[in-house]
Structure 1
């Protein structure tokens, strides 16, 4: 399996429409429908879910059903989020066929907030299939290239077991999350034809490369970059210079600040994964029917680069990731 899409363009800051069209050529639901940007069940929802003893956390189900109703068909989850049961239940209750929905899930061999992941990726995968109430996933990613010492894995052996799972036919695409260029090179060398085709990384104006040159490396090697936490520049800290400039673009285009940032992400060649429980914001995130100019794209990049912020893997230097 070799990804055939090409998200490159002669322009440095390409049209979001061009990017979306190129993703559509390769990444389709099983029924052949183009994927949307992703709706996540991690950062916002996992902590609320983990604070309960409930098998199903109804607010997550409600948010996912609303997102599907509004037009999303791309859902992101992970073993460590503990939200796979909600994803499965929401899809079932939505009335939309499983084949019309894209599910990405992830496995990480580490302990987070006191929760230990299943001992093996195979065990985790089988458990997630059961929780998702499905017999396949569209994409299965290694959540992190960093492995706790008490797991009987290296990144090489973990990826080799992922390749075995891929060969069962229950996974349509494989990839990484928080992988650097070196991590992607390593796992790409382990099979002649089956390569990683996705890499999820933290991405926003104030963190344009989670690790050294990772976005360009992925583009050069036909690996789709998915950007999580894309709106944190608006909501998690205050960059007044960026906020002021985004405000100017809000007035010019008649769009929200979130729409401006999501469009910037797309035109940077990255597919955003975001989340909201507000129906208006959900609909707005799927209505990105405008293009930022080259000058506006550059200005957002330049302002953001002057105030670098990282919210995940903050203990690591860019060279370590």
Structure 2
């Protein structure tokens, strides 16, 4: 898919919780179908398998957008670069397209400036084309802006779906010109059975997943849904071409109930 939002493709494949042969098959099938944006992370424990699937796909590297994320244990100025080099070794690449701070350093143990400056150094050396953050609240995003400037932050990847729309954080990011990537866009599948989304899907002849993904992309977010089933990978891939009406968008907007699915103790910041 060549659709881009800012510098980040608006649609990609997430690989959270996919391991071993399962992730190899998912990435291989996605690339066969036309996916060109793949999202992984050090803590997922699947970078080597993602790299294998990409290498075996025959898709030219310059056609791909690959994201990985630095785990909290590697955020120190002395650890970040070596950990990224290890990620690149596993991925069989000399660079990734985007590197994110996966979660803020617990209790601020590593100064944010140390991590961001180390990311900028990796960027200057050509190991990552873009840098960004993930799971940052307004306060942390402001701190990151104070360190490197908003224009240096390619995205903030956050949990965002019809049941959790985070208007304060979204509004702040937009004011600052910072792009947002939605993970968990289908809320672990919970929204797929939502009466409003099912009604829109049935009226349109779409899948509920297509409705939720199209909604998020129309709101300006990139999405990275994961699937291990070829038919779902294929139908999800159509979501960027679908447009909801203003009324349908408003119906999905009205589903917001602040329901967060991911908030690990010891990692999660004080959410807005």
Q: Which of 226, 230, 236 is matched with 1:285 structurally?
A: 236
Q: Which of 253, 263, 268 is matched with 1:301 structurally?
A: 253
Q: Which of 89, 100, 107 is matched with 1:130 structurally?
A: 89
1:249 aligns with 2:206: no
Is the contact between residue 116 and residue 148 of structure 2 (CA under 8 Å) also seen in structure 1? no
Q: 1:248: how far off?
A: 1.4
**CA displacement, residues 31-50 of structure 1 (integer Å, 9 cap, x when unaligned):** xxxx35121111x31xxx3x
Within 5 Å, give how 1:202-281 maps onto structure 2: 202-209=159-166, 213-232=168-187, 235-236=189-190, 243-281=194-232
Q: Which of 70, 83, 88 is matched with 2:46 structurally?
A: 83
Is the contact between residue 147 and residue 155 of structure 1 (CA under 8 Å) also seen in structure 2? no
Is the contact between residue 77 and residue 115 of structure 2 (CA under 8 Å) also seen in structure 1? no
Cα 1:88–1:180 change in 2 (3 A) is same
Cα 1:285–1:147 change in 2 (3 A) is same
Within 5 Å, give how 1:3-14 maps onto structure 2: none
Is the contact between residue 40 and residue 47 of structure 2 (CA under 8 Å) also seen in structure 1? yes
Give the alignment's Cα RMSD to 1 decimal. 2.7
Normalized against structure 2, the TM-score is what? 0.89
Cα 1:208–1:313 change in 2 (3 A) is same
**CA displacement, residues 5-30 of structure 1 (integer Å, 9 cap, x when unaligned):** xxxxxxxxxxxxxxx8562xx427xx
Cα 1:36–1:192 change in 2 (3 A) is closer
Q: Name the CA distance, whole Å, in 2 between partners of 1:97 and 1:225.
A: 27
Is the contact between residue 103 and residue 268 of structure 2 (CA under 8 Å) also seen in structure 1? no
Aligned partner of 2:144 in structure 1 is 187
Is the contact between residue 76 and residue 105 of structure 1 (CA under 8 Å) also seen in structure 2? yes
- SS of residue in 2 equivalent to 1:104: strand
Aligned partner of 1:199 in structure 2 is 156
- SS of residue in 1 equivalent to 2:147: coil
In structure 1, the gaps of 5 or more residues are 1-19, 29-34, 50-56
- SS of residue in 2 equivalent to 1:274: coil
Q: Name the CA distance, whole Å, in 2 between partners of 1:127 and 1:228.
A: 24
Is the contact between residue 150 and residue 176 of structure 2 (CA under 8 Å) also seen in structure 1? no
In structure 2, the gaps of 5 or more residues are none
1:178 aligns with 2:135: yes
- SS of residue in 1 equivalent to 2:148: coil
**CA displacement, residues 29-77 of structure 1 (integer Å, 9 cap, x when unaligned):** xxxxxx35121111x31xxx3xxxxxxx112111100001011000001
Q: 1:283: how far off?
A: 1.0
Q: Name the CA distance, whole Å, in 2 between partners of 1:301 and 1:171.
A: 35
Aligned partner of 2:116 in structure 1 is 159
List structure 1 segments (4+ residues) > 6 angstroms apart after TM superposition.
Answer: 116-119
1:27 aligns with 2:7: yes
- SS of residue in 2 equivalent to 1:263: helix
Is the contact between residue 47 and residue 87 of structure 2 (CA under 8 Å) also seen in structure 1? yes
Q: Name the CA distance, whole Å, in 2 between partners of 1:183 and 1:283.
A: 36
User: How many residues are treated as equivalent by the alignment?
Assistant: 269
**CA displacement, residues 144-197 of structure 1 (integer Å, 9 cap, x when unaligned):** 113367x6x222222122222222122100000011222122122223686211
